[in-house]
Amino acid sequence: MNAGRTVFAQLMAHAPHQEFQKCVSRYDGARYLKKFSCWDQYLAMAFAQLTYRESLRDIEACLHSMRGKLYHMGFRTLAPRSTLAEANENRDWRIFADFAQTPIAIARPMHASDPLAIDLDQTLYALDSTTIDLCLSMFPWARFRSGKAAVKMHTLLDLRGNIPTFIHVSDGKLPDVKVLDDIVPEAGAFYVMDRGYLDFDRLYRFTVEAAFFVIRNKRNVILRRRYSHPVVPGTGVISDQTVVLDTIASTKNYPDPLRRIHYLDAVTQKRLVFLTNNFALTPLTIANIYRCRWQVELFFKWIKQHLRIKAFYGTTENAVKTQIWIAVSVYVLVAIVRKRLPIKASLYSLLQVLSLTLFEKMPILQAFQEISSHDDLEEPVKQLILFDF
């Protein structure tokens, strides 16, 4: 790395600028712009994410204090906070959503060989959503309940590397199950979901596309047992059955057999019932696949703690979605740099060091030489609490 470049510039060099310009052109983002470009907007918002800025005024003050170094950070124009606020409100958020797919496509192959918590060769995805509470008087477009506003961040997480491959930002009222309509199943991959996504008509698409799902069952689902398969005592697996839906309407939605596994959690003594369309793996492996779903919960916890997605710099829907998508792209960009250099430190440690060294002119590796290695997304947690009824 060039020691004459700031750490921020070296980090942003890993962001494919040409692909960004393609996204800008796709949505006519450069129309009527004279000085403050979409790239300048992205850099300012990325800087805010990496340094945990609290407000637009905070962003403006910090960048103005380092005016002499901004050119070396990649900025061509230093705009006042009013210009940045207007850009976030008016420039199409899809520019940043589309651009985020580029680092995601780069990061996934880099993490393809990362180990999973279970012995599984196929790709494993976890699908879930997290709710971000908002003030109704400031975000009236995101009405959730009486006197309350919220947005939902629906995320499909590739558990090899914890890379988000699909994100849909909606108001808080959108049912989780409807997001299945926007997901294109990948043949051979496993999708693990909680029972909020149990819709047999939608799940049958996964079977048709040769993809597998593992999902919690609901109490009111009527199933008829066809076969019972032997289970190994002492593994926690109570039964392993081939079942079919037992009503005419549900049979039309999902005509094929399903596999039902009853599992007893030895710690909480909870009886868990899983449904899957995979008949090849052992029942204990299916139970352990569902256990991996806790990683998406950790992902939500992690990004809420370390990225700016709980407090927003603008109040319009466009500004909120712009900030969320830039936060996601910054998260993935740091993951790419961690793999490319390579750096053994955790993403948490990288972000902490970057927040203090962005203006420094040093090789980026030098900033991380003394950091010990640990995996921040595999911190000790009570995993089985996710199995509670």
Q: Which residues pair with 158 in a beta bridge?
A: 125, 163
* CA separation for the pair 345, 231 (Å, rounded): 42
Is 22 a member of any domain?
Answer: yes
Q: How far is CA 185 from CA 103, 314, 362, 384, in A?
A: 21, 34, 44, 27
Instruction: Work out how many domains the chain is built from and give that number.
Output: 1
**Minimum mean pLDDT range among 14-23, 34-43, 339-348:** 339-348
DSSP states of 200-258 as a string?
A: HHHHHHHHHTT-EEEEEPPTT--EEEEEEE---TTSSEEEEEEEEE-SHHHHHH--S-E
User: Is the full-model pTM beyond 0.95?
Assistant: no
Q: How far is CA 316 from CA 4, 90, 93, 96, in A?
A: 39, 9, 11, 16
pLDDT in tens, 144-181: 888 889 999 999 999 998 999 999 999 888 999 999 99
Is 83 a member of any domain?
Answer: yes
Is 157 a member of any domain?
Answer: no
288 pLDDT above the threshold of 80:
yes
Is 169 a member of any domain?
Answer: no
Is 221 a member of any domain?
Answer: no
Domain containing 21 equals 7-97+316-378
pLDDT in tens, 339-362: 998 888 778 888 888 888 888 888
Is 102 a member of any domain?
Answer: no
Q: What confidence score (pLDDT) does residue 341 get?
A: 86
Is 19 a member of any domain?
Answer: yes
